[in-house]
Amino acid sequence: MPRSPSHCSTTTMSDLYRSAMSARLAKLPADLPPSAEDEEEEDEENDSLGSLPGSGLGPPAFKAKTPRTRTKREPNPAFAPISAAPFFADAAQIAVPNRELDMRIYYTPPKFSDGTVMVCHHGAGYNGLSFACFAKEVAEMSKGECGVMALDARRHGKTTTTAEKEDEDLSIDVLVQDLFALLTTTFPDPAAAPSFVLVGHSMGGSVMTRACPLLLERRYRVTGVSVLDAVEGFALDALPHMNSLLNARPDGFDSLEDAVEWHCTTKTIRNAHSARVSIPPIMTEASPGGVLKYVWRTPLRSTAPYWRGWFEGLSKKFLEAKTARMLVLAGTDRLDKELMIGQMQGKFQMEVVAGVGHLLHEDDPTRLAEIHIGFWRRNERMVGGVKKVGDI
């Protein structure tokens, strides 16, 4: 377990935020993709909204070549896309009429009818296949006792709308109701449904935390909720610094191999095997005649109005969840005041994973699976009412 934060004074949180922000920025990789004509492009970069390094709001933003300085090259086969077929038993489109959605899920069911399913929600800009390697590890480590379901949120991956015009609203309440509707549609009878471990990365962690009480109210069994590298105070404190932190990302790529390679060389994802599965679905073919062949399926600039709402109130709702709670972090500099106090009071299990970045479940899926299998085994037998981890 990491060193207790009790040595930090709660009256110096602003100083802690500043030092943590500096630490996060210092961790950005030195081998950034090259940029040309920086002075000429400065105005373009200031007008561009990429992702926010250190906030947990998506992949880090790095300067990239503009189309006039970019040179096309042959795709590198070492970064060629990999099929998701070996990682899940099934992939399906689930009609959710009351949300006007046709939702994509990737699912490996548990071997036993009374088993557990880890339900996984990705972060902004990603998709369900972000959990592909993790899902395979969980199924193997649990010997099939624990299944995994990963979903594509609206405007992400292969989830599509059935409405005449797509609703672009990605506010937290919309995402929570989408998840709740998906689970109640897929498992309509709470008594016959498997127990759930709700696992959410970044934005997805906020969705899972808020969906937990809705599921419990309907008498679904929720073994626990696990939040991956999402801390309210840290994310919100980064927002005022957006103008100085945001840089341009590539507008797109000439091939899917280039997209995978960019995520690996910038260390956005440190596991190329995972990136080859998860990155192709976050790209989409550009309009004919464009300079680039592939562009982002969910441009992060379009999600900016929802960032604050995703994270506001997360710490309080996480600590109030009436189930076992776990926070898995990629570094000890990510705790905010409320979570520091909660950790000292033993209100949740905390794990810190070494040698990973923000996409820790992709960087080290084996370690993340070990942590979650342990969390599940400790708490599954307590769902019937015995005190769980974090209950005092």
pLDDT tens-digit map of 196-217:
999 999 999 999 999 999 999 9
Can you tell me the distance from the alpha carbon of 231 to that of 86, in angstroms, rounded to the nearest whole number?
A: 33
Task: Report DSSP state, residue 260.
Answer: H
Can you tell me the distance from the alpha carbon of 359 to that of 120, in angstroms, rounded to the nearest whole number?
A: 13
Comparing 118-132, 308-322, 333-347, 366-380, which segment has the lowest mean pLDDT?
A: 333-347
Work out the pLDDT band at 109, boundaries 50, 70, 90: very high
pLDDT at position 332 over 90: no
Task: Report DSSP state, residue 93.
Answer: E
Which pLDDT does position 323 carry in this prediction?
Answer: 97
Q: For 86, what's the count of Cα atoms within 13 Å in the CB-facing half-sphere?
A: 8
pLDDT at position 300 over 70: yes
pLDDT at position 295 over 60: yes
Q: Is the dihedral of CA 99, 100, 104, 109 positive or negative?
A: positive
Dihedral class, residue 13 (left if φ above 0, else alpha if ψ from -120 to 50, else beta): alpha
Work out the pLDDT band at 67, boundaries 50, 70, 90: very low
Q: Domains in the chain, ordered, with CATH? A: 1-392 (3.40.50.1820)
Can you tell me the distance from the alpha carbon of 68 to that of 60, in angstroms, rounded to the nearest whole number?
A: 23
Q: Please state the φ and ψ torsions of residue 205, each to the nearest 5 degrees.
A: -65, -35
Active-site positions read 202, 229, 358
Whole-model pTM above 0.85? no
Helix 172-186, helix 203-217: angle, nearest 10: 50
Bridge partners, 200 (sequence order): 121, 227
Buried b (16+ CB within 10 A) or exposed e, 294-303: bbbbbebeeb
Q: Is the dihedral of CA 157, 75, 133, 304 positive or negative?
A: negative
